[in-house]
Structure formats: C-alpha cells, structure tokens
C-alpha cells in the first residue's frame, strides 16, 4: 500500500488507473466511471499524466516542473483533451480518476465532468474536494466553466488542454513568432499578478493567446472574465501539439473554499484579426469600452493634441536637466514652431529627486520653488499649452518620514512574500536598490494620500492632466484589489476635476474603461485610447533618457510615432535646447505633418 491520509491507492490500483494503460488509453468500465440511469452515455477517462505527450526532458527553454508523473486524468471533447488541476496555498492537487465521471450533454454538443475527490503527492494521497466542469460547443468556439470546492481556500485552478497544434505564437494579438521547442509562459496583467512576471512570464495586456498554424488557420484561447484577475498561459511542446495550461488565480484578498472560474474560450479563426476581434468584442461589453473618437471622459483639448514635449526635471542623483525657468524658455521657443494648443507639456521629476522624493509631490526649491512652478504652468497655459506633471501610482520611499502614514499599503504577493520596487540600480553601484515599497491603491491610506497630492497640484498650480507611473502594474495582493483602487482614485478625481485628464504609463484591458491616454504602445487597443513615447525615449543628440534609469539609447527619427494612435514626442534634456534645435524642429515638423 501507498500509506498516507485519506483513501490511498494500492500500487496495483495505481498502475491500473494511471500507468499500465499508457497515455491516451481508455480506462475500463467500473474504474473510471459508471453509467447513470437517464443520463447520456458516459465518456471514457484518459489516464494522462504531467509527462504525457510532451518532451521529457524539455528540448528548449524550460520552466520548473515536477520531477515525477503527476496525474492529469482527462476527457476528449471536440478533438482536444481536457484535464484540471487545483492549487491551494499549501499544495497542488489532481483529480481522482476513480471518482471522476464525464457525460455528453445537450444533444452531444456539451459535456459535463464531475469529480468527487482529489489526489496529492503525485497520486499517493487522497483529499476531500470536488471539481465540476461544463464544456459546450458554440459554433467555432468551445467554452467551459469550472468550479472547485475544498475544505481550505483555493488559490488557483488550471485547465489543461492537449491537442492544440504547434505553430507561431501571438501574445494578445501581437505579431506572431516561432517559439521552436521552447516552453512559453504568459501572464495577465503583466506577468499574471506578479508585476512583469519577475523575469519569468511575458506580460499580456489582455488574456488572449493565439497559435497561427498557417496564414488562414488560427487557434486562440481567451478568458471571458469581466473583472481584472490573474491569468497565466503555459505552452509546453510535444512532437505534434502543445500541452497548454490556462491558469486562473483567485483574488488574493478573498478566502474562497468554492472557486468558480470565469468562462474560458478555445476557438478557431481564419486570421489573427478575426481571433482578436472575437476577444475584443467581449472586452467592449465587459469594460464598456468606447472608441477614442467618441469617448466622453476626456477634455476636447486632448483629442487635438499633436505633440507631447517631455521636459525632464531632476535625476535621482540630484542632477538637474531643466529647472522651471529653463522649461518655460523652451516652451516659448516651441510656441513659435507649432500652435501651443496642440501641445502637451509632460513634466517628469518636477518634484525633486526622481523617485527618491516620492511620495511628497511638492515643488522643488532647486528647480525654482513653488513660485517658479506656478509661473511655468500659468505662462505656458497663457500661450495655449496644456501641462501634465508626473506621479507614481504605486511607489513610495520607505525612508521618507511620511511613509508611516501609508505603510499598511505596502504590497505582498498572494503567497505573502513582500513585493518591493527593487528592480532599478538608481546610483550605479551595480546593485539594484531596495528602498522603495510597491504600494496598493486598493488600500485607503495610500489612495487617500496620492489623491490628496494630485488634488493639491491641480488646485495649487492649475495643471490640465496628471500622469500615473506604472499604472498598468497589478499584483494579486491579499490586502485589496489594486485595479479597483486605481479605478476609485481616477473616478473620484474626475468627479472633482472633470476637465483634468488622467494618463497612465502602460495599460491592461480593464484600465481602458477610465484612462484614455498612455505612454507605452497600445497595440490592438489603439482603437480606444492614445499613446505618446515613453519618458525614456531618447532626446535629440546622444539619445539621453533624462531622468529615466536607462542612460543613453540613441535618438532615432523612426521612433517618433507616426503609426495610428501614437502621438509624436520630443524629449528635452540638458543639452537638447542649446545644442540640437535643428533636431527639435524636425520632430515638431513630423508632428505637424502627422496632425494634418
């Protein structure tokens, strides 16, 4: 016997259920299921494991996996094989094949799967629990819902899909690429709740992945969730097909012993565009998305913006690129080259040492103090410009004395490990610095503080917009919902200052509902918002990134942004105005041409 808790399997039973039959074999009646009176004919249970139909060992880039065969009993439906895994905050569980049944429903167009028990330790142990799934064929789509129940909080539920043919992979509708024999992991939002995936996952702006077999044959997998919650997609290649994981991770701020997974959709489409449109049709309904041309949540001047001028202030080290007086001089010169009412002035590091002085957000004495900032805003607005200062949506220096007021909003990930903003080497000592906390706008102390600082800038200086750095960063934090906190911040400020526009650094789909302007390429979402070049966009000359940490990247005319939905951007650092005015003029001319 394989001893342990619950209802153990004997070695003979285990071999009969999971091993001796081999991958893809059908379990004998009475082992996997039994027919029920009045129900459709039962469907065979396939005794697959985690190593079935995939390269073992991996033949390319690989991710962590179990060093033994973990049970993944599956059923075949419409040419694919479906299995399920359940995760708590302490272990991984598979379905108990002995307690699993599957039956065709809805005249053969659907399937109901029931499992009345779980296994763990690779099938050596049993645990109480229940998993039900409903699969349905709808035209070219297969849609399914899964519910898992346990006697402890459930962290995640994975749907395992086998039989997806190999091909080029597109993340969220972006240009497809050939992954060769590499395993791939994609996460939504931006790493599946672990910001930027901590270098493990490719971030998705929306939960959609596409396999393009040929030019006219695409298979896509998407989530039909109507809330921002973590999803991950894992592609594991075999000889003819992928083993594909669709992971839904529950809200970290909830303890759910019954977890209902939002509907997954697996479909075929004739083209990449058709696959994307099927998904964005859902997004438009879920998040009430409106085209840019008819959005009702932005001021008229924003729709007329033809150029963004990034006026860099103070570097982390205290190096000053432009003080307020120099910014005003530059703006006056720009006004002689293009109508100022078509220009947005973006002010990163207007508040002192970049990031180090977060979250104080007050005028820097070294840049000209409150009087100098007021003069800059008032004089440029008198010319017709619009002005947007920068704020960090989720960054606060723990060494600032005010940090104690919002310390409870510092972020932890779903497994309770602390998540800091520690991926930048600010001082070039060749070590990433860790004095910044990553903050959660879902927690009232941080949301109230940041809202108050933005409101102060609006009322004190009369700015026209506010920029939220790392707006698209989302972590599945056990304290509160980051997305809902961002939404509440923006909507509360909009209610108080309806003509002041919010702008985010990068986006994910749910943000498009209430933030219309961004700084990172929108891709397929350009229909709903506009974007200008990132503040690290190289300035004319040697391509300085200004206050950003990326140093010198070179100045390239082709990056000025003439693609649909992208607004040309001019970055101005310390030597731009004094040494590269001809390059500045070329950028302005490109902007005027693009605006025609």
Cβ(540)–Cβ(330) under 8 Å? no
pLDDT at position 196 is 58
- Asked whether the predicted pLDDT for residue 81 surpasses 90, the reply is yes
The predicted pLDDT at position 23 comes to 34
Instruction: Provide the domain count of the chain.
Output: 2
In a domain, 1, yes or no: no
Asked if residue 390 and residue 362 are part of one domain, the reply reads yes
Shared-domain flag, residues 434 and 565: yes
Per the structure, the complete domain to which residue 377 belongs is given by 292-594
User: How many Cβ atoms sit within 10 Å of the Cβ of residue 336?
Assistant: 8
Query: Is residue 496 located within the same domain as residue 450?
Result: yes
Do 581 and 447 share a structural domain?
yes
For residue range 494-523, what is the model confidence (pLDDT) as tens digits? 999 999 999 999 999 999 999 999 999 999
Mind giving me the DSSP string for 126-157? Answer: EE--EEEEEEEEETTEEEEEEEEE-SS-EEEE
| CA 466 – CA 486 distance, rounded (Å) | 13
Is residue 41 domain-shared with residue 188, that is, in the same domain? Answer: yes
Under the banding of pLDDT at 50, 70 and 90, the label for residue 202 is confident
Q: Given this model, what pLDDT does residue 42 score?
A: 83
In-domain check, residue 5: no
Let me know whether 251 and 306 are in one domain. Answer: no
- Domain membership of residue 253 (yes or no) is yes
Distances (CA, A) of 235 to 183, 197, 221, 250, 383: 6, 16, 11, 21, 54
Percent helix, strand and coil across the chain, each to the nearest 5 = 25, 30, 45
Together in a domain, 267 and 398? no
Q: At what angle do helices 369-383 and 324-335 cross, to 10 degrees?
A: 10
Residues 241 and 330 in one domain: no
Q: How far apart are CA 351 and CA 314, in angstroms?
A: 8
289 SS3 class: coil
Q: Around 589, how many Cα atoms within 13 Å sit in the side-chain half-sphere?
A: 7
In a domain, 429, yes or no: yes
Tokens read off for 561: 């942004």
Residue 21 pLDDT level (bands cut at 50, 70, 90): very low
Closest CA to 215 of 271, 275, 174, 266: 271
Mapped to the 3 state alphabet, what secondary structure does 463-500 carry?
CCEEEEECCCCCCCCCCCCHHHHHHHHHHHHHHHCCCC
Q: Could you give the CA distance from residue 451 to residue 180 in angstroms, rounded to a whole number?
A: 47
466 and 568 assigned to the same domain: yes
- Model confidence at 557, pLDDT cuts 50, 70, 90, reads low
In a domain, 565, yes or no: yes
pLDDT tens-digit map of 316-367: 999 999 999 999 999 999 999 999 999 999 999 999 999 999 999 999 999 9
273 and 331 housed in the same domain: no
Name the strands in the sheet holding 130-138, side by side, starting at the edge strand that comes first in the sequence.
100-105, 110-115, 130-138, 141-149, 258-269, 217-223, 208-214, 168-171
Q: Which of 260, 287, 314 is the last residue of a domain?
A: 287
Average pLDDT over the chain, rounded to whole? 91
Phi, psi of 578 (to 5 degrees): -85, -25
pLDDT tens sequence across 269-282: 999 999 999 999 99
Per-residue pLDDT for 60 more than 90?
yes
What is the tens place of the pLDDT at every residue in 133-189? 999 999 999 999 999 999 999 999 999 999 999 999 999 999 999 999 999 999 999
> Residue 251 domain-assigned?
yes
Query: Does residue 247 share a domain with residue 371?
Result: no
R_g (Cα) of the chain, nearest Å: 27
Q: With contact defined as beta carbons under 8 Å apart, do 503 and 468 qualify?
A: yes
Greatest Cα pair distance, the chain, in angstroms, is: 86
CA 188 to chain centre: 4
Quote the tokens at residue 326.
């120099």
- Domain's final residue, options 287, 314, 336: 287
Specify the length of the chain in residues.
596
**What percent of the chain is predicted at pLDDT more than 90?**
86
- Closest to 206 measured CA to CA, from 556, 584, 510, 538: 510
CATH classification of the domain holding 308: 3.20.20.70
CB-count exposure of residue 508 (10 Å: 0-12, 13-18, 19+): buried
The answer for 381, left when phi > 0, alpha when psi is -120 to 50, beta otherwise, is alpha
Structure-block tokens of residue 452: 């108050």
77, 142 contact by CB (below 8 A): yes
pLDDT of 14 above 60? no
Domain endpoint, select from 287, 310, 330: 287
Judge residue 296's burial from the number of C-beta atoms within 10 Å of its C-beta, 0-12 exposed, 13-18 middle, 19 or more buried. exposed
Sorted by sequence, the CB contacts under 8 Å of residue 60 that are 6+ apart come out as 179, 180, 181, 182, 183, 237
Beta carbons within 10 angstroms of residue 167's beta carbon: 19
Strand, helix or coil at 222?
Answer: strand
For the stretch 440-485, pLDDT in tens is 999 999 999 999 999 999 999 999 999 999 999 999 999 999 999 9
Domain-embedded: residue 335 = yes
pLDDT band at 195 (very low <50, low <70, confident <90, very high): low
For 295-326, give the DSSP string.
Answer: -SSS-HHHHH--EEEEE--B-TTS-BS--HHH
Dump strand ranges (E) for 494-540. Answer: 501-504, 517-518, 530-532
Residue 346 tokens read as 């973006």
Output the domain CATH number for residue 21. 2.70.98
Residues 49 and 23: their CA atoms lie apart, in Å, by 7
On whether both 349 and 263 belong to a single domain, the answer is no
Residue 6 lies in a domain: no
């Amino acid at each position: 016997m394989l001893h342990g808790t619950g209802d153990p399997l004997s070695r003979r039973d285990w071999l009969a259920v999971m091993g001796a039959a081999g991958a893809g074999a059908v379990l004998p009646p009475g082992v996997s299921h039994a027919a029920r009176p009045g129900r459709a004919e039962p469907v065979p249970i396939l005794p697959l494991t985690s190593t079935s139909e995939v390269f073992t060992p991996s033949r390319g880039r690989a991710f962590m996996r179990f060093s033994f065969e973990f049970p993944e009993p599956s059923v075949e439906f419409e040419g694919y094989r479906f299995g399920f895994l359940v995760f708590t905050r302490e272990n991984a569980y598979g379905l108990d094949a002995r307690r699993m049944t599957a039956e065709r429903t809805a005249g053969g167009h659907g399937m109901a799967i029931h499992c009345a028990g779980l296994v763990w330790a690779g099938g050596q142990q049993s645990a109480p629990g229940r998993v039900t799934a409903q699969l349905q064929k709808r035209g070219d789509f297969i849609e399914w819902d899964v519910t898992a129940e346990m006697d402890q909080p459930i962290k995640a539920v994975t749907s395992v899909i086998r039989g997806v043919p190999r091909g080029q992979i597109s993340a969220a509708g972006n240009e497809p690429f050939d992954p060769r024999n590499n395993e791939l992991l994609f996460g939504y939002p931006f790493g599946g709740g672990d910001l930027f995936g901590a270098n493990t996952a490719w971030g998705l702006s929306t939960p959609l992945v596409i396999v393009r077999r040929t030019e006219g044959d695409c298979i896509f997998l998407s989530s039909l969730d109507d809330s921002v919650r973590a999803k991950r997609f894992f592609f594991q290649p075999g000889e003819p097909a992928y083993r594909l994981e669709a992971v839904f991770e529950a809200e970290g701020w909830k303890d759910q012993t019954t977890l209902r997974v939002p509907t997954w959709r697996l479909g075929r489409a004739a083209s990449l565009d058709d696959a994307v449109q099927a998904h964005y049709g859902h997004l438009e309904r879920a998040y009430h998305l409106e085209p840019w041309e008819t959005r009702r949540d932005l001021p008229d001047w924003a729709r007329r913006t033809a150029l963004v001028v990034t006026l860099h202030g103070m570097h982390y080290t205290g190096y000053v690129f432009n003080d307020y007086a120099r910014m005003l001089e530059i703006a006056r010169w720009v006004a002689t080259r293009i109508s100022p009412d078509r220009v947005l002035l973006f002010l990163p590091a207007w508040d002192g040492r970049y990031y180090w002085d977060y979250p104080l957000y007050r005028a820097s004495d070294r840049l000209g103090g409150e009087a100098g900032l007021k003069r800059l805003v008032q004089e440029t607005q008198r010319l017709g410009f619009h002005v947007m200062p920068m704020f960090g949506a989720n960054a606060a220096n723990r060494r600032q004395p005010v940090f104690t007021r919002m310390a409870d909003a510092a972020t932890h990930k779903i497994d309770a490990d602390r998540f800091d903003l520690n991926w930048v080497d600010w001082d070039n000592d060749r070590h990433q610095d860790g004095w910044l906390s990553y903050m959660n706008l879902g927690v009232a102390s941080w949301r109230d503080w940041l809202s108050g600082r933005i409101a102060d800038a609006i009322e004190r200086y009369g700015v026209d917009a506010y920029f939220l750095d790392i707006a698209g960063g989302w972590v599945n934090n056990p304290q509160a919902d980051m997305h809902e906190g961002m939404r509440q911040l923006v909507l509360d400020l909009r209610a108080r200052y309806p003509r002041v526009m919010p702008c985010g650094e990068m986006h994910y789909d749910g943000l498009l509902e209430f933030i219309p302007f961004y700084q990172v390429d929108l891709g397929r979402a350009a229909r709903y918002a506009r974007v200008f070049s990132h503040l690290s966009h190289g300035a004319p000359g040697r391509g300085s990134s200004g206050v950003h940490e990326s140093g010198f990247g070179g100045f390239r005319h082709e990056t000025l942004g003439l693609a649909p939905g992208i607004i040309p951007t001019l970055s101005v650092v310390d030597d731009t105005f004094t040494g590269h005015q001809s390059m500045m003029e070329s950028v302005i001319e490109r902007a005027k041409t693009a605006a025609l």
